[in-house]
């Protein structure tokens, strides 16, 4: 049982490596996450502010990962252009955009007083 669980972590680690190596949007969001963490450390944020930022980072990175997985799977299932596949991809990209915009608003809200 434990061995199976460790194997699952290996699959997840391989997925993260694949995202970093092949997905430019994931790398961009990861770089932004590093910058936010550095700013949070520099400004000595409170524990609750840290938790909120980390949840926002996890949400954006997680949805970006799901978006990438969906795009790859749909391209494999239906490689040629199809209107419904395009709509599914657009909706997944919209989910990334929505989470990113909300995370940015929360980040601005948290850092506003520290910056100005």
Instruction: Round to whole Å and give the CA distance between 116 and 110.
Output: 11
pLDDT at 8: 87
* pLDDT tens per residue, range 49-70: 999 999 999 999 999 999 999 9
The answer to whether residue 5 is catalytic is: no
Q: Count CB atoms within 10 A of the CB of residue 109.
A: 11
pLDDT at 34: 98
Q: Which domain holds residue 88?
A: 2-115
Q: Which stretches in the chain have pLDDT values below 50?
A: none
- The enclosing H or E element of 76 equals helix 47-77
Catalytic residue among 21, 49, 64, 71: 64
Q: How many residues would you count in the chain?
A: 116
pTM metric for this prediction? 0.91
Domain total in the chain? 1
pLDDT at 1: 65
According to the 3-state scheme, what is the secondary structure of 16-54?
A: HHHHHHHCHHHHHHHHHHHHHHHHHHHCCCCHHHHHHHH
How many alpha carbons lie under 13 Å from residue 114 in its C-beta half-sphere?
A: 14
Residue 17 Cα to chain centre, angstroms: 14
- State the CATH number of the domain containing residue 111: 1.10.287.3610
Q: Count CB atoms within 10 A of the CB of residue 86.
A: 11
pLDDT at 42: 97
């Amino acid at each position: 049982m434990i061995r199976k669980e460790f194997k699952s972590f290996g699959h997840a680690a391989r997925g993260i490596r694949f995202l970093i190596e092949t997905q430019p949007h994931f790398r961009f969001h990861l770089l932004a996450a590093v910058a936010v963490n550095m700013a949070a450390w520099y400004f000595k944020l409170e524990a609750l502010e840290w938790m909120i930022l980390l949840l926002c980072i996890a949400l954006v990175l997680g949805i970006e990962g799901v978006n990438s997985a969906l795009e790859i799977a749909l391209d494999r299932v239906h490689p040629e252009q199809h209107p419904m596949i395009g709509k599914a991809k657009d909706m997944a990209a919209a989910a990334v955009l929505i989470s990113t915009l909300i995370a940015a608003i929360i980040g601005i809200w948290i850092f506003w007083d520290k910056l100005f």
